[in-house]
Chain A
């Protein structure tokens, strides 16, 4: 017995010695650059792209780039706008993403204010309209298209509740007969949710805007994770009205047929935002990242975007996709994105204070 104890002691000392030894090798004084060894060397064959573009669009858009750069592994991180934004913010000191592709301008402005973007003028940036890019000489971000608030109405669901009108304005949505029938996206996680809230605050002004949202909240059944989800689930008949964005509403309405669903662009105008690209500031930005940004505003890419959105960064496309308002630019409310970006955090905090707690209370 004594022998085993002794051995155990030796063994434990050995382990301890090894552990301490390794640990000591790992200890460093704060402030020394731990990343000096591995960060500077950038692998040009790997491109990390963060994006909030729609899942079903990405593969189609990306096809050409992948063909041209078959030796490059493109890692796509796709999440809703809010999640991509907080991910980028959290990784600020040690960014994973090389480029951001198709993230809302409001979010990119937040990143710019945090000093996370490296200005870069992609080839062909002169073709992009003034209001679609950062106003500096070498822009920090460049837009690709615009998307706007719209809702989809499931007429069949409304009919089953004895309603035969289709709400066409924000004011219509407050009608008590729609109580519990509206699905909307949560601005904390969804860019569509945020631009809708921004649009409403812009339209009614700060105070009246929140009053409107309070009223709207009475009719809302659920706040959803992504911008698409309200439209998709309204199309499957789970809800009567899904507040989402133009592209998704039109597509979902088309899928189920116009006799059942209808996409509506609000009479008062739509909150909107741009999907835009940017280069993330790093120790050494990759050449392939810049090439990607060049490609992402090339004519061919713009043509692809234009199949889904009527307004792209080079202007209103030749043919407006079916279902959009005839003059898509007029539909957009005049939103100051710099202000929206500055207020983003405050708006989200206000929103979750009002409706996160409330939605839980309602259940009780």
Chain B
């Protein structure tokens, strides 16, 4: 007894705080990531009435012709889009980081723009460019837009910024000594490319390929606009769940969608562990050597990409500003009058979207930062930390569609049956079903991993000595956190905040399943407006979201610059 008391006395206030902080984050992830996924798996093996179905749902799925076509369609789309997007991104990132290209900042930002808009915007721009009455179609450039071609173009543009970002990071880590050595030995440019450059960025390349694949494999926005009759899994699952309210079949498709994502996750984990050795402390940063011809080619290439991007968004802007495409091209702002769309819910939806994004950004940043801090700067609870770390990076492997689906299954149920008994557990979270909070939670889970990694990286950069010193001086950890760690991590925190905000504002794949009339949101309204043929107001709504995101990003850049000047 006395021993226990003794032990209990040793638990300090700090320990309790650490404990609460770490386990709150862990509890969040278990409740809103693990539990919904478990329900999703359970549902896939059940009939509609809840009785055990085994694999019959899967067999039913795979024996349907239409379904098998949409699987092969989805793979086709994802593979082709990945090849196009990653090739372009590779050349773009290479030009910007290894060649003398003017206005690098400009090119970099223009290449990022697709990140800030809902994917439907790409689809809408495509219709205005390549549709039957499209601007380029009338000029004689005809492509069969509706179906695979349209989807592939849209997905390639959608994946381009992410692939570029990953590859830029990969290219930035180069050792100039290798190139110097190669030059002294008179190695040809091609050989240098094949033996130094590509092996150097291969992990970045693998990661870019898998991210692009997962993005295009699971995107909902673009296929819903330009897909025509070309069915893909993401639209299939929507039709099953929203169209026919067949949640169990939806769960089956959800699990199929999970496969490539999990695969890419595993590969990414394995490769990223190997990567650390590629660069050593002795490495010398890459020196760009002027080379007239290739520099010129690189500049031309970047310009073409930039012009294409600008063209796309200019067309989308134009689409939102004209009265009646293609017969009445008078400019008007009436499409921006949100009070008339969705039975007068436009303004509410728009307000909800901004509110949800702000809340997601605010709470998400706190949560991911606390999580990362407790895992990175804490030496207690090693096992729990490991598990929490794993749960924190898991959302990377979960497509939005699956997040949305598992959420609706989890929150929609008022009680869960305990297998093989007569008892069930009341779902305490049922009450947030149909509110904006469920959408906020879904966004926090869906976008958890990237800000978490950002925080982890930032924390890793801070010398551990700070913690050791303050501990020896008996300064509680939260004071060190508040006075030292947080200020030093401020840029990272801003970045995390912006990431949460920007993505929450435009995301569709997850929230399309959680949409509820009492809690309308803008991005899903765009899907239904487009579905009802109201293309111009849909484009206008997309543009508003794009402008807000660009504004937020701009503010971030200003703060960021001021900060780095200050230091």
Binding site for B on A (CB under 8 A): 3-4, 6-8, 10-12, 15, 22-23, 26-30, 34-35, 48, 55-56, 58-59, 62, 75-80, 82-83, 86-87, 89-90, 94, 96, 157, 188-189, 221-226, 228-233, 236-239, 255-257, 260, 352, 356-357, 359-364
B477 within 8 A of A: no
In angstroms, Cα B148 to Cα A361, docked, is 13
A221 touches B228 (CB 8 A): yes
Mask: chain B, 317-339; 1 = CB below 8 Å from A; 0 = not: 00000001111100000000000
Tell me if B533 and A231 are in contact (CB < 8 A).
yes
- Residues on the B chain within 8 Å of A75, using CB: 517-518
Contact among B324, B341, B427 for A255, CB-based, below 8 A: B324
A233 touches B533 (CB 8 A): yes
Looking at chain B, what size class is its interface with the partner chain?
35 or more
Residues of the A chain whose Cβ atoms lie less than 8 Å from the Cβ of B379:
4
Tell me if B343 and A76 are in contact (CB < 8 A): yes
Complex alpha-carbon distance, A120 and B10, angstroms: 70
B103 within 8 A of A: no
Establish whether residues A7 and B414, one from each chain, have CB atoms under 8 Å apart when the complex forms: no
Distance in angstroms from A28 CB to nearest chain B CB is 6
The answer on a CB contact under 8 Å between A228 and B532 is yes
**Minimum distance in angstroms from B120 CB to a CB of chain A:** 13
Q: How far, in Å, is B506 (CB) from chain A's closest CB?
A: 21
Task: List 28 A-B residue pairs with CB atoms under 8 Å apart, sorted by A's residue number.
Answer: A4-B381, A4-B382, A6-B7, A8-B381, A10-B7, A11-B19, A15-B27, A28-B425, A34-B415, A55-B532, A59-B343, A75-B517, A78-B528, A82-B244, A94-B414, A188-B239, A188-B244, A225-B531, A228-B532, A229-B532, A229-B533, A237-B132, A237-B327, A360-B66, A360-B229, A360-B230, A361-B69, A363-B230
Nearest 3 Cβ contacts at the A-B interface? A232-B533, A90-B245, A237-B133
Q: Please, how many angstroms separate the alpha-carbon atoms of A7 and B434 in the complex?
A: 40
**Residue among A34, A56, A363 with most chain B CB within 10 A:** A363
A361: chain B residues at CB < 8 Å are 65, 69
A256-B327, A360-B73, A364-B69 in contact; A232/B532 too (CB < 8 A)? yes
Using A11-B19, A232-B533, A356-B231 as known contacts, say yes or no to A28 and B69 having CB atoms under 8 A apart.
Answer: no
B324/A256 in contact, CB under 8 A: yes
Closest to A85 in B: B245
Residues A83 and B231 in contact in the complex (CB < 8 Å), given A26-B425, A55-B343, A226-B531? no
Q: Is the CB of A362 within 8 A of B229?
A: yes
> Does A356 lie within 8 Å of B228, measured CB to CB?
no
Q: Are B23 and A11 in contact (CB under 8 A)?
A: yes
Shortest C-beta distance, B17 to chain A (Å), equals 12
Q: How far is the CB of B542 from chain A (nearest CB, A)?
A: 17
Q: Does B383 have its Cβ within 8 Å of any Cβ on chain A?
A: yes
Given contacts A34-B414, A86-B244, contact A8 B324 (CB under 8 A): no
Per-residue 0/1 for B405-425: is the Cβ within 8 Å of any A Cβ (1 yes, 0 no)? 000000000110110001111
Chain A residues whose C-beta falls within 8 Å of the C-beta of B422 in the assembled complex: 29-30
Given A28-B415, A30-B423, A59-B344; A86-B381 close (CB under 8 Å): no
| Min distance, Cβ A252 to any Cβ of chain B, angstroms | 8
Would you call B414 and A35 a contact (CB within 8 A)? yes
Judge whether A189 and B10 touch: CB under 8 Å: no
Interface residues of B in 241-257 (CB under 8 A from A): 242-245, 247
* Contact residues in B for A223 (Cβ distance below 8 Å): 229
- Interface contacts beyond A55-B529, A236-B131: sample of 10 additional A-B pairs, CB < 8 Å, sorted by A: A28-B415, A34-B415, A58-B343, A76-B345, A222-B229, A229-B533, A232-B532, A260-B327, A357-B64, A363-B73
B70 contacts chain A at the CB level, 8 A cutoff:
yes
| A352 CA / B64 CA spacing, docked (Å) | 11
Residues of chain A within 8 A (CB-CB) of B260 are none
Q: A14 → chain B, closest Cβ, in Å? A: 9
Nearest CB of B to A61, in Å: 9
A30 and B417 in contact (CB under 8 A), knowing A7-B15, A225-B531, A231-B533? Answer: yes
Encoded as 1 (CB less than 8 Å from any A CB) or 0, chain B from 120 to 159 comes to 0000000100011100000000000011100000000000
Partner of A58, one of B344, B380, B414, B528: B344
B→A interface (CB under 8 Å): 7, 10-11, 15, 19, 23, 27, 64-66, 69-70, 73, 127, 131-133, 146-148, 228-231, 239, 242-245, 247, 324-328, 340-345, 379-384, 414-415, 417-418, 422-428, 434, 517-518, 528-529, 531-535
The answer to whether A87 and B245 touch (CB under 8 A), given A222-B229, A236-B325, is yes
B39 CB, min distance to chain A CBs, angstroms: 15
Do A8 and B434 touch across chains, with their CB atoms under 8 A apart?
Answer: no
Q: Are A30 and B424 in contact (CB under 8 A)?
A: yes
Q: How far is the CA of A197 from the CA of B127 in the complex (A)?
A: 29
User: Does B517 contact A228, Cβ atoms closer than 8 Å?
Assistant: no
Interchain CB contact (< 8 A) of B148 among A4, A10, A359, A363: A363
- Looking across the interface, which residue of chain A has its beta carbon closest to that of B131? A238
A226 to B229, CA, bound (A): 14
Closest to B242 in A: A83
Closest to B69 in A: A360
**Contact yes or no, A360 B324, CB < 8 A:** no
Contacts of B11 in A (CB 8 A): 7, 10
Check if B533 sits within 8 Å of A189, measured CB to CB.
no
Given contacts A30-B422, A236-B535, contact A8 B383 (CB under 8 A): yes
With a cutoff of 8 Å between Cβ atoms, the chain A residues found around residue B534 in the complex are 55, 232
Query: For residue A359, which residues in chain B have a CB less than 8 angstroms away from its CB?
Result: 229, 231
A348 to chain B, nearest CB (A): 9
Shortest C-beta distance, A81 to chain B (Å), equals 11
Partner of A34, one of B70, B148, B426, B517: B426
Say how far A82's CB is from chain B's closest CB, in angstroms: 6
With CB as the reference atom, state the residue of chain A lying closest to B433: A96
List, in ascending order, chain A residues with CB within 8 A of B324's CB: 236, 255-256
Task: Given A29-B422, A59-B343, check contact A48 B517 (CB 8 Å).
Answer: yes
In the complex the two chains form, what is the Cα distance from A356 to B231 in whole Å?
9
CB distance from B547 to the nearest CB of A (A): 24
With beta carbons under 8 angstroms apart, the residue of A189, A226, A238, A257 that contacts B327 is A257
Write the nearest CB–CB distance from A235 to chain B, whole angstroms. Answer: 8
A222 to B533, CA, bound (A): 14
Q: Tell me the nearest residue of chain B to A14, going by C-beta.
A: B19
A27 touches B244 (CB 8 A): no
- In whole angstroms, what is the CA distance A3 to B379 when docked? 12
Asked if residues B414 and A363 are in contact (CB atoms below 8 Å), the reply is no
Distance from B196 Cβ to chain A, minimum over Cβ atoms (Å): 43
A239 in contact with B132 (CB, 8 Å)? yes
Given A15-B23, A233-B533: A238 and B345 interface contact (C-beta under 8 Å): no
Does B146 contact A222, Cβ atoms closer than 8 Å? Answer: yes
